[in-house]
Amino acid sequence: MSLTRRDFARTSAVTGAGVALAGSVGALATAPNALASTETVTEGADPARAHIGIGYGPLLPDPDGILALPAGFSYRVITYTGRTKLESGESTPSNHDGTAAFEGPRGTTLLVNNHEIGGAYANAEHPVPLAEGLVYDPAAAGGCTVVEVRPGGKVAEWVGIAGTSTNCAGGSTPWDTWLTWLTCEETEDKAGSRGMNKDHGYVFEVDPVDRRANKNPEPIKALGRYAHEAVVIDPKRGHAYLTEDASNPNGLLYRWTPPEGYRHGRGRFRTLADDAGMLQAFKCFDSGGQFVDDLSRATKIGTVYGVDWIDVPDRDARTTSVRKQFSTGQITRCRKLEGMWWGDGGAYIVSSYARAESPGRPHDGQVWFYDPKRRTLTLKVLLGVNADPSVDGAFDGPDNITVSPYGGIILAEDGDGISHLFGATDSGRTYPIARNDLNVGTEEEPEYSEFAGVTFSPDGRTLYANIQDPGILLAITGPWKRQGR
């Protein structure tokens, strides 16, 4: 049933558009002029009191030059491109991106790790190996690996899927009885372009537990072909929500509605017809019923938009990219739609930044919350433009996201300059968790790769995260605590 603009305007007049917030995370407000607003103790303070207030205190430089963390925290390298190896003997693939953690058998933790490697297999220094029976297109270098962390610390890694391209944020399914990773291709390459043998721009299912289930991979064409970034599944209604990271024009947020009678479950995606269900793009309007052309129009925390869903004409984009199939006024766009995470009964959705390619006010990051019950989109986090990304302190360019078991959300930066993992609390404060100290540039022109794949272990004791270049999967542990209001 469609939520009309008139219905939304009537509801907003009663509830107050700036008050109709959904989810336990609350406002999660980061004022545009207070990018690094924290309540931690200052550097040099007594370490015994370092956990007073919000966050965990200042970040301490790493003598090994990889990861700066607060006092009391430590990290462990799980995989490292060029140093660690798969069970089959090849190097861990490069370009670590989206990751999810699953509870495995016999006390193990299973991590499914995307590798955002685009272009031809022959040109990649550390591609995902073309493991027999697990290859979609032998010309493509991307894919994902499964990493098993065993009690006592021993690690094993193997290929989950190969022959895919530019595997980005992805997403996991929300049921304990169905452990599945959905790996997303952030590309629109077709057969014959950039050396590809098959069309790309799809979502694939990867089972982290049953290796046999990954044999002969096929794309889930029902979810569309475009520059996929992330996907989440509504466990109650069965909808899939998907982000698109694209420009010229800006990308879209999509919703896939299952066909009547369909039930999610292990291997069920493989049974879907290419045109199964309904793929739609979002269309937003404000409390006055006015159409919103781009999410960059929102300039205030607590902004609430009503959402309608518009049918995609050709989800496989045979002649025209999906986002270009709509005329002006039909749908709402957004620059750099990136990570998503399901929590608090809805989907948290990240926009990394907006500049001249967007019609609204420039910003360095938004986090939205889509409430499927109310059919509303609420702005939870807004980061103003970071004037000098080379100076530590401010946060910009959020990408991957996870909901924290300790309250609020955790975001991985993919901005300019210094790169962080940072949290945003229920009370609207941000605080640093980690800083990438690994300089992959030069001393004169330092460069720090993005963070990605931020996710907690099933027991909540370990935060996993990736440094994309050169490709490092890290396990962070320490005195986690509930982040108070």
**Who has greater pLDDT, 19 or 323?**
323
**pLDDT given for residue 53 in this prediction:** 73
Q: Do 72 and 88 touch, CB atoms closer than 8 A? A: no
Q: Do 240 and 278 touch, CB atoms closer than 8 A? A: no
Region 423-448: mean pLDDT is: 90
Amino acid at 23: G
Encoding tokens for residue 175?
């049921």
The pTM score is 0.91
For the chain, give the percent of residues with pLDDT over 90: 83
* Average pLDDT, rounded, for the chain: 89
* pLDDT tens per residue, range 55-100: 999 999 999 999 999 999 999 999 999 999 999 999 999 999 999 9
Domain with 200 in it: 59-477
- Give the chain's domain count: 1
The verdict on residue 38 lying in a domain is: no
Region 431-453: mean pLDDT is: 96
Confidence grade of residue 385 (pLDDT, cut at 50, 70, 90)? very high
Confidence grade of residue 13 (pLDDT, cut at 50, 70, 90)? very low
**pLDDT given for residue 179 in this prediction:** 83
Distance of alpha carbon 410 from alpha carbon 437, whole angstroms: 19
In eight-state DSSP terms, residue 387 is S
The verdict on residue 28 lying in a domain is: no
The verdict on residue 266 lying in a domain is: yes
The verdict on residue 344 lying in a domain is: yes
Region 158-181: mean pLDDT is: 92
The verdict on residue 30 lying in a domain is: no
Nearest to 214 by CA among 159, 291, 157: 159
* pLDDT tens per residue, range 412-431: 999 899 999 999 976 667 89
Q: Do 367 and 350 touch, CB atoms closer than 8 A? A: yes
Nearest to 61 by CA among 436, 427, 380, 358: 436
Please report, for residues 152, 171, 314, 315, 392, the alpha-carbon distance to residue 319 in angstroms, rounded to integers and kept in the order given.
53, 28, 9, 11, 45
**Residue-wise DSSP of 405-435:** TTSSEEEEE-SSSS-EEEEE-TTS-EEEEEE
What CATH number is given to the structural domain containing 427? 2.120.10.30
Cis peptide before 470 (omega within 30 of 0): yes
Encoding tokens for residue 34?
């207070």
Q: Does the structure show a pLDDT above 80 at 37?
A: no
Encoding tokens for residue 294?
């781009």
The verdict on residue 409 lying in a domain is: yes
In eight-state DSSP terms, residue 185 is B
Rg (C-alpha) for the chain, rounded Å, is: 21
Region 422-443: mean pLDDT is: 90
Tell me the pairing of strands 240-244 and 291-292.
unpaired
The verdict on residue 6 lying in a domain is: no
The verdict on residue 128 lying in a domain is: yes
Q: ∠ CA 481-232-423 to the nearest 5 degrees? A: 25
Q: Does the structure show a pLDDT above 80 at 19?
A: no
